[in-house]
Structure 1
Amino acid sequence: MVPLRLGARASRMSLVQTAPLLARLALAGPTLLHPYSGAGGDRRTNRAALSEAGVFSDEIETALLDGDIDVAVHCLKDAPTHDTPGLTMAAYAARDDIRDCLVTRDGTGTLDTLPAGATVATASLRRAAAVRAYRPNLNVTRIRGPVDERLDTLHDPDIGVDALIVASCSMERLGFTHQIAQRIHPEIICPPLGAAIIAFQIREDDPQTREKLAGLHDPATAVEAQAERFVLRQMGGYCNAPLAGYCSTTHDTNGRPTYTVRARSLTPDGSAAADVRLTGQDAAATAAAVCRQLQCNRFPNLR
Structure 2
Amino acid sequence: MTRTLRLGTRRSKLAMTQSGMVAAALTAATGHAVELVEITTYGDTSQATNELLSQIGGTGVFVNALREALLRGEVDFVVHSLKDLPTAAAEGLSLAAVPEREDVRDVLVARDGRKLADLPAGARIGTGSNRRAAQLRIARPDLEVVPVRGNVDTRVGFVESGKLDAVVLAYAGLNRLGRIAEATDLLDPADFLPCPGQGALGVECRADDAEMSGLLAPLDHAPTRAAVVAERALLATLEAGCSAPVGGYALPRHDDERELIVTGIVASADPNPTGAPASVRGSLTGPVEQAARLGAELADRLLAQGAAALMTQQLGEAQ
Quickly name the TM-score band, shorter chain normalised.
over 0.9
4+ residue runs over 6 A deviation:
none
Asked if the contact 2:8–2:77 (Cα under 8 Å) also holds between the matched residues in 1, the reply is yes
Q: Secondary structure at the match of 1:294?
A: helix
The one of 105, 122, 128 equivalent to 2:127 is 122
The one of 173, 177, 182 equivalent to 1:174 is 177
Q: Tell me if 1:63 matches 2:69.
A: yes
> Kindly, what percent of the aligned residue pairs are identical?
33
Q: Tell me if 1:286 matches 2:294.
A: yes
CA shift at 1:41, angstroms?
2.1
Q: Tell me if 1:84 matches 2:100.
A: no
- Output the CA distance in 1 between the equivalents of 2:216 and 2:156: 34
- Output the CA distance in 2 between the equivalents of 1:10 and 1:202: 19
Residue 151 of structure 1 aligns to which amino acid in structure 2? Answer: V
* Worse overlay, 17-26 or 234-243: 17-26
- Output the CA distance in 1 between the equivalents of 2:45 and 2:244: 16
The one of 264, 269, 278 equivalent to 1:272 is 278
CA shift at 1:31, angstroms?
1.2
CA shift at 1:39, angstroms?
5.0
* Worse overlay, 45-54 or 238-247: 45-54
Asked if the contact 2:104–2:199 (Cα under 8 Å) also holds between the matched residues in 1, the reply is yes
- Output the CA distance in 1 between the equivalents of 2:101 and 2:45: 23
Residue 245 of structure 1 aligns to which amino acid in structure 2? Answer: G
- Output the CA distance in 2 between the equivalents of 1:16 and 1:219: 23
Asked if the contact 2:43–2:61 (Cα under 8 Å) also holds between the matched residues in 1, the reply is no
Counterparts in 2 of 1:57 and 1:44: CA distance versus 1, 3 Å? farther
Q: Tell me if 1:52 matches 2:58.
A: yes
Q: Tell me if 1:143 matches 2:148.
A: yes
Counterparts in 2 of 1:256 and 1:103: CA distance versus 1, 3 Å? closer
Alignment coverage as a number of residue pairs: 298
CA shift at 1:288, angstroms?
2.2
Q: Secondary structure at the match of 1:299?
A: helix
Higher percent of residues as helix: 2
Per-residue CA distance 1:138-193 (angstroms, 9 max, x = gap): 11101111122111111224xx2001111111110111111111100123321001
* Worse overlay, 26-35 or 37-46: 37-46
CA shift at 1:52, angstroms?
3.4
Asked if the contact 1:11–1:40 (Cα under 8 Å) also holds between the matched residues in 2, the reply is no
- Output the CA distance in 2 between the equivalents of 1:207 and 1:92: 17
Counterparts in 2 of 1:42 and 1:186: CA distance versus 1, 3 Å? farther
- Output the CA distance in 2 between the equivalents of 1:277 and 1:215: 31
- Output the CA distance in 1 between the equivalents of 2:45 and 2:298: 32
Unpaired runs of 5+ in structure 2? 272-276
Asked if the contact 2:40–2:65 (Cα under 8 Å) also holds between the matched residues in 1, the reply is no
Specify the alignment match of 1:133 in structure 2.
138
Specify the alignment match of 2:32 in structure 1.
29
Asked if the contact 2:41–2:63 (Cα under 8 Å) also holds between the matched residues in 1, the reply is no
- Output the CA distance in 2 between the equivalents of 1:29 and 1:40: 30
Counterparts in 2 of 1:39 and 1:213: CA distance versus 1, 3 Å? farther
Residue 59 of structure 2 aligns to which amino acid in structure 1? Answer: A
Unpaired runs of 5+ in structure 1? none
Q: Tell me if 1:38 matches 2:38.
A: no
Counterparts in 2 of 1:260 and 1:42: CA distance versus 1, 3 Å? farther
Q: Tell me if 1:219 matches 2:198.
A: no
CA shift at 1:40, angstroms?
5.2
Q: How does 1:246-261 map to 2 (within 5 A)?
A: 246-250=249-253, 252=255, 256-261=257-262
- Output the CA distance in 2 between the equivalents of 1:63 and 1:13: 20
- Output the CA distance in 2 between the equivalents of 1:120 and 1:283: 35
- Output the CA distance in 1 between the equivalents of 2:99 and 2:267: 29
Superposition RMSD in Å: 1.7
- Output the CA distance in 2 between the equivalents of 1:280 and 1:251: 13
Asked if the contact 2:43–2:56 (Cα under 8 Å) also holds between the matched residues in 1, the reply is no
Specify the alignment match of 1:299 in structure 2.
309
Q: Secondary structure at the match of 1:56?
A: coil
Specify the alignment match of 1:198 in structure 2.
201
- Output the CA distance in 1 between the equivalents of 2:257 and 2:20: 34
